[in-house]
Amino acid sequence: MKVMEVRSAWGLDHLQVAERDDPCPGDYDVVVEMRAASINFRDVVMVRGGYGSKGGRLPMIPVSDGAGVIVAVGTRVSRVKVGDLVCPNFAQTWIDGPFRDDVWAGMLGGYRDGVLQQFMLLPEDGVVKVAPHLDATAAATLPCAALTAWSAVVDCGAKPGSVVLTQGTGGVSIFALQFAKLCGAQVILTSSDDDKLKRAKQLGADETINYRTNPAWEKRAREIAGPNGIDLVVDLAGSLDQSVKAVKAGGTVAVIGVLAGATSPLSLGQVVTRAVRLQGVTAGSLRAFEAMMQAIALHRLEPAFDVVGRRMDEAGKAIAAITEGTHFGKICMELQA
């Protein structure tokens, strides 16, 4: 079968087509013919060698998120069947319960081979059936970005009447907007681009702030929220000092990303004296993915994405596209071999 590998050295320039043996399922395994993938900022980092000491090994098949059709199952598989459209869960060994340290080792597109393979061998507990209204390309957006947004919004308690602020118009933020609206929350969304803010309004954002023309966006956000304040900030930039100032006393900041760089100062005094809860969020378990998929099916939620590349060997172009920052929602690619 055909795969895309980072082979001899780290970097996008070393991503190339390779041949590997077709997989054969064990008793509890499934073989998935991959149809589509989506790109996360993490994929850029992993192709460059990974996060610090958690770096990967070569050769590596990158990209964590995708969707495909089951073409073979082991003799004891009962959760899914041949013909089902499924997504691999990002964190393969995280079935249920809270995050554990060993979950890292089961993440796809780094420590484990990713989705840029014609056929993927996975345990039956490593896949989730896709909502009936979604095709493979739309479903490919879900495993990391959507599940991270779901964990941030739902686990941090968004509910009818809550006020949620989310940063930017990338993959996680647009899903956070969509899930917060499903929960009945009011949503304030920030972006550097007025056209993207207009698109976010069309998707349900109640209020928007351009963080480039309003660098003190946390003050504007507090004005917009009024006396009840902001219950939850979905912090993707790593701008923790501003997020802690934006959220209400006793509110929550979901700490997810470091888009603005990992060196943001944080006034601990504000965290303590205003009793702000900081909650790190990293994707989610198989059970959380199933719950999210049910909500997506029930509300016929449509992921926002652009397609960059229609063949597996265009993966380099698709991965590079996320660094340009011009996208809205997710960047997807189709995986014709």
DSSP bridge pairs for 336: 311
CA distance 112 to 12: 18
CA 300 vs. chain centroid, Å, equals 19
CB of 31: closest distance to ligand NAP in angstroms? 27
* 282 is an interface residue for ligand NAP by CB under 6 A: yes
Stretch that binds ligand NAP, among 19-27, 35-43, 135-143, 179-187 (CB under 6 A): 35-43
Q: From the centroid of its chain, how far is CA 99?
A: 16
Dist. CA 293–CA 182, nearest whole Å: 13
- Residues 245-264 interacting with ligand NAP (rule: CB under 6 A): 256-260
Q: Within positions 189 to 218, which residues make up the interface with ligand NAP, using CB under 6 A?
A: 190-193, 196, 211
Taking CB under 6 A as the binding criterion, the range among 48-56, 92-100, 233-241, 264-272 that sits at the site for ligand NAP is: 233-241
> What residue type is assigned to position 212 of the chain?
R
* Contact flag: residue 220 with ligand NAP (CB under 6 A): no
Task: Transcribe 184-245 into DSSP letters.
Answer: T-EEEEEES-HHHHHHHHHTT-SEEEETTT-TTHHHHHHHHHGGG-EEEEEE-S--HHHHHH
Cα–Cα distance measured from residue 18 to residue 61, given in angstroms and rounded to the nearest whole number = 10
**Which of these, 37, 240, 207, lies nearest to 139 by C-alpha position?**
37
Cβ-closest residue to ligand NAP?
170
Question: Among 4, 15, 31, 41, which residue interacts with ligand NAP (rule: CB under 6 A)?
Answer: 41
Among 3, 86, 87, 144, binds ligand NAP (CB under 6 A): 144
Minimum distance of ligand NAP from residue 331's CB (angstroms): 7
Binding mask 151-190 for ligand NAP (x = CB under 6 A): ----------------xxxxxxx----------------x
> Contact with ligand NAP (CB under 6 A): which of 30, 158, 237, 276?
237
| Tokens (6 digits) for 107 | 């993440």
- Minimal distance, residue 81 CB to ligand NAP, in Å: 30
Cβ-in-10-Å burial (0-12, 13-18, 19+) of 294 comes to exposed
Binding site for ligand NAP (CB under 6 A): 40-42, 144-145, 148, 167-173, 190-193, 196, 211, 236-237, 239, 256-260, 281-283, 322, 325
